[in-house]
């Protein structure tokens, strides 16, 4: 069964095509603002490029529009204007082709594509992107959030800090590069129960910009925040008695991050799975894959059910597959 999936929760507009469990194509275009992401500007970018990624995806998959059997799209969580733009495109396509439509939870899609491409079975997902920071795992019929950020996403925090140092957006890769030459200075370590927060650390680092070397600030930001996330993930694994960790989100491409999580995994006799970069970041293939899995499990949506959900919770979805 052929399914096309559209991703558009934040700065990426993507279209992916899957044929049952085969990923045929994964096309995307990324909006690169000069500083932070403005929801309406990102939505305009999506409106301008959704037809391009659609056409490119079909061309590369060597299929015509009539062969599509299911249309999936990212229903949330994300930025309202972006979600609305992509949902409108998906609805129009579904109605014009007279094919079913299905809205997909973006966080669950990260987990499903990770499971599919790395072959892990029942992982604890550590999902670290621009807007999201969550520790997710399956328990009692749902993917549940065991820990998350109480304020901003880790990638957002890194980007905000990078902007203060005049780094290009997104700042994660440049912070990683500078951190290699830094040493540790003390920053607040902020865990509350199973949750983390980053804005206090960001303020503390900001207040040190005049007096500390930027390499030291970058190194210490990474060490402190990554240690917090590793700790919460380890606690989730211990409580749930799970022995697989899956990474997702753009921050997961950070090598020091992978190393720290891997050290924890090895110490527990657990295994770390890191999807390819193109499947770690936001992408259309993960939406197509998850939409198809949902459809095959019997889930159906009418057009009226496809309204966007800016704050779509991971555990709102009953996992029937």
Which residues of this chain interact with ligand ATP, rule CB under 6 A? Answer: 9-12, 78, 129-132, 153, 155, 158-159, 170-173, 176, 249-251, 253-254, 281-282
Residues 122-141 that bind Fe ion (CB under 5 A): 129
- Report the distance separating Cα 107 and Cα 110, nearest Å: 5
Q: What is the largest CA-CA distance in the chain?
A: 63
What does the radius of gyration of the chain's CA atoms come to, in whole angstroms? 19
Our CB check for Fe ion shows the closer of 87 and 218 to be 87
Taking CB under 5 A as the criterion, which residues in 156-185 touch Fe ion?
A: none
Nearer to Fe ion, 111 or 221 (CB): 111
Nearer to ligand ATP, 2 or 281 (CB): 281
Encode 80-129 in three state secondary structure. Answer: HHHHHHHHHHHHHHHHHHCCCEEEEEHHHHHHHHHHHHHCCCCCEEEEEC
Among 148, 159, 223, 282, binds Fe ion (CB under 5 A): 282
> What is the three-state SS of 277-295?
HHHHCCCHHHHHHHHHHHH
> C-beta of 57: minimal distance to ligand ATP in Å?
19
SS3 31: coil
Q: Whole-number minimum distance, CB 3 to ligand ATP, in Å?
A: 21
Binding string, residues 79-118; x marks residues near Fe ion by CB under 5 A = ----------------------------------------
CB of residue 243 to ligand ATP, shortest distance in Å = 25
Smallest gap, in angstroms, from Cβ of residue 178 to ligand ATP? Answer: 11
Closer Cβ to ligand ATP, 9 or 224, answer by number: 9
Phi/psi at 260 (5° precision): -65, -45
- Which residue stretch of 133-141, 143-151, 232-240, 277-285 sits at the interface with Fe ion (rule: CB under 5 A)? 277-285
For residues 292 and 72, is the Cβ–Cβ distance under 8 A?
yes
Q: Which two tokens mark 88?
A: 């409108």
- In eight-state DSSP terms, residue 251 is G
**In this structure, are strands 22-30 and 12-19 parallel, antiparallel, or unpaired?**
antiparallel
Give the interface with Fe ion as residue ranges (CB under 5 A).
129, 282
């Amino acid at each position: 069964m052929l399914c096309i999936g559209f991703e558009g929760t934040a700065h990426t507009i993507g279209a992916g095509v899957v044929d049952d469990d085969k990923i045929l194509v994964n096309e995307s275009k990324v909006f690169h603002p000069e500083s932070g992401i403005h929801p309406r500007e990102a939505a305009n970018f999506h409106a301008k490029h959704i037809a391009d990624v659609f056409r490119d995806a079909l061309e590369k998959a060597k299929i015509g529009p009539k062969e599509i059997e299911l249309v999936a799209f990212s229903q949330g969580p994300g930025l309202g204007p972006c979600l609305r733009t992509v949902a409108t495109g998906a609805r129009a396509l579904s109605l014009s082709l007279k094919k079913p439509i299905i809205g997909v939870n973006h966080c669950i899609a990260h987990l499903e594509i990770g499971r599919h491409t790395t072959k892990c079975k029942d992982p604890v997902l550590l999902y670290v992107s621009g807007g999201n920071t969550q520790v997710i795992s399956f328990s009692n019929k749902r993917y549940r959030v065991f820990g998350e950020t109480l304020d901003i996403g880790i990638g957002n925090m890194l980007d905000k800090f990078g902007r203060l140092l005049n780094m290009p957006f997104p700042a994660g890769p440049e912070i990683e590069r500078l951190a290699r030459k830094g040493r540790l200075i003390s920053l607040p370590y902020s865990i509350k129960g199973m949750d983390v927060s980053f804005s206090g650390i960001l303020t503390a680092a900001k207040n040190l910009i005049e007096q500390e070397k930027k390499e030291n600030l970058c190194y210490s930001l990474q060490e402190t925040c990554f240690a917090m996330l590793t700790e919460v993930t380890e606690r989730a694994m211990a409580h749930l008695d799970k022995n697989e960790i899956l990474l997702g989100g753009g921050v997961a491409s950070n090598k020091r991050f992978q190393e720290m999580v891997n050290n924890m995994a090895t110490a527990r006799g657990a295994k770390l799975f890191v999807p390819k970069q193109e499947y770690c970041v936001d992408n259309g293939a993960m939406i197509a894959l998850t939409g198809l899995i949902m459809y095959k499990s019997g889930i159906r949506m009418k057009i009226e059910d496809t309204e966007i959900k800016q704050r779509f919770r991971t555990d709102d979805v009953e996992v029937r597959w």
